[in-house]
Amino acid sequence: MTRKVIITVIALLVAGLHFLKGRIFQGQLHLFVHGYMIDIFLPMTFFLLMSLIPNNIIGSPRFRAIAVFGCGCCIELSQYFGYPIFGSTFDPLDIVAYAGGVALGALLDLLIFPRFIPSWNDA
């Protein structure tokens, strides 16, 4: 499978989580699933999706990490100041989740996938 296919499948799975996490999941990790799971997986997915942009600056891991984490922080800060964007409640742990998502995306993109998919870094 190609890099584009794998990242597209990941993006579709994460998008599907929005529908599945609703009232369906009521298990022991209810708070995590409803409060933080998407805040981890969305930044991870955006980090991976940005790697598909054929631009040396935008596609660089450092730029992607700063851009995705910075956007997440701006969204959270807007909630803090009473301007709801993609949510209405400020939670400082969301910022930690965004950082974890970016770190997970970087880990997958730079260490895990290249190790198991030989053609991962081929453009």
Q: What does the pLDDT look like over 54-96, one tens digit per residue?
A: 998 988 999 999 999 999 999 999 999 999 888 888 999 999 9
Residue 66 is encoded by which pair of tokens? 């700063």
Residue 64: its H or E element: helix 61-80
**Residue percentage of the chain with pLDDT more than 70:** 89
Residue 59: its H or E element: none
Question: Distance from CA of residue 53 to its chain's centroid?
Answer: 16
User: What CA–CA distance (Å, rounded) separates 92 from 69?
Assistant: 13
What contacts 109, CB < 8 A, 6 or more positions away? 47, 48, 51, 61
| 122 — pLDDT class (breaks 50, 70, 90) | confident
In terms of pTM, does the model score above 0.75? yes
Across 101-110, average pLDDT? 97
Helices 61-80 and 38-50, interaxial angle, to 10°?
A: 140
Distances (CA, A) of 106 to 41, 68, 87: 12, 11, 25
